[in-house]
Amino acid sequence: MSLHPSEALAFTTHRIPALLRSCHLEPALAVTVFVTALALASGRGPVGLAAVAAAVLAGQLSVGWCNDAVDARRDTLCSRRDKPVASGELPRRVVAVAAGTALGLCVPLSLLSGAAAGSVHLVGTAAGWAYNLRLKNTVLSPLPYAVGFGSLPAFVTLGLPSSSWPAWWALVAGALLGVGAHLVNVLPDIEDDLATGVRGLPQRMGRAACRWLSPLVMLAAVSVLVAGPPGPPAAVDWMLATAAVVIAVSGTAVPSGTRSRWPFRAAIVVAGIAVAQLLLRGADMV
């Protein structure tokens, strides 16, 4: 039975907020802003910046919606009321269609930056889908994050007029940030994951190991960004690196028996420092 236009509009309007909550909007926007800022720092013009932002956002939305569609059964079993599919606000099919649509848009939007850059971005986006569909349940679960985040500097530099691969330290730092993001993302939900059969590498290691490892991996990214670029590190590099060490150590020092979220927040702050360093070095990537 077809809906009256006013009913259809109300139906659609009701679903939009739920779709936005289902797509992991905050990290999607954060990654989009970071990559766009990196493109600006590396010399992209206004048209190139718009192309980068649109492609990255489409790719991130597709991965986020795919994640909620694939995890619908687990989220329901865990009574995740923050998940619109699990709470009954959205049919799983609607989220799956949204994921496929965003992925379809990601292809031409990525290719606006050129064949090489677009292909690299699509490989990174495909890695996110591979994680959702299969690899999150294996010891290879960090690999898609490493590929996805590591591909972002390459997407930026390959899309420049002087198309070239970025410096090694940008790729390595991006990959480390990806692995750290995986650990940070999994940390709050390890018990729920284990209860529903998710056995990625962090779940196999356990909460205590992840609490220690997540800020240390982020700290490794900071170290690469201090030591990797040519020339002696600037004063700001040492200041940021020192702050990262202090925060990482304080994050790992919290007793494992407490319910403090500081280890999680410490990893996020150290990641932010690494991102700031990468942005400061954006012009040196090529």
CB-based contact 267:275 (threshold 8 Å): no
CB-based contact 64:28 (threshold 8 Å): yes
105-130 average pLDDT score: 97
Share of the chain above pLDDT 90, in %: 43
The Cα-based distances of 246 to 69, 215, 230 in angstroms read 39, 11, 25
Q: In this model, does residue 234 exceed pLDDT 80?
A: yes
237's enclosing H/E stretch is helix 235-252
**Terminus-to-terminus CA distance in the chain, angstroms?**
57
What is the distance, to the nearest Å, from the Cα of residue 216 to the centroid of all Cα atoms in its chain?
18
User: What is the C-alpha to C-alpha distance for residues 111 and 10, in angstroms, rounded to an integer?
Assistant: 35
Mean pLDDT for the chain overall: 86
142-157 average pLDDT score: 95
The pTM of the full predicted model, rounded to 2 decimals, is 0.86
122-144 average pLDDT score: 96
Instruction: Say which CATH topology domain 7-284 has.
Output: Farnesyl Diphosphate Synthase (1.10.600)
Share of the chain above pLDDT 70, in %: 90
pLDDT at 14: 65
pLDDT at 270: 80
- Residue 141 corresponds to which tokens in the numbers above? 């679960």
Task: Check residues 147 and 15 and name the one with the higher pLDDT.
Answer: 147
Q: Which of 70-74, 104-108, 118-122, 176-180 has the lowest mean pLDDT?
A: 70-74
Enumerate the domain spans of the chain.
7-284
pLDDT, tens digit, 9 for 90 and up, residues 40-63: 988 889 999 999 999 999 999 999
197-212 average pLDDT score: 88
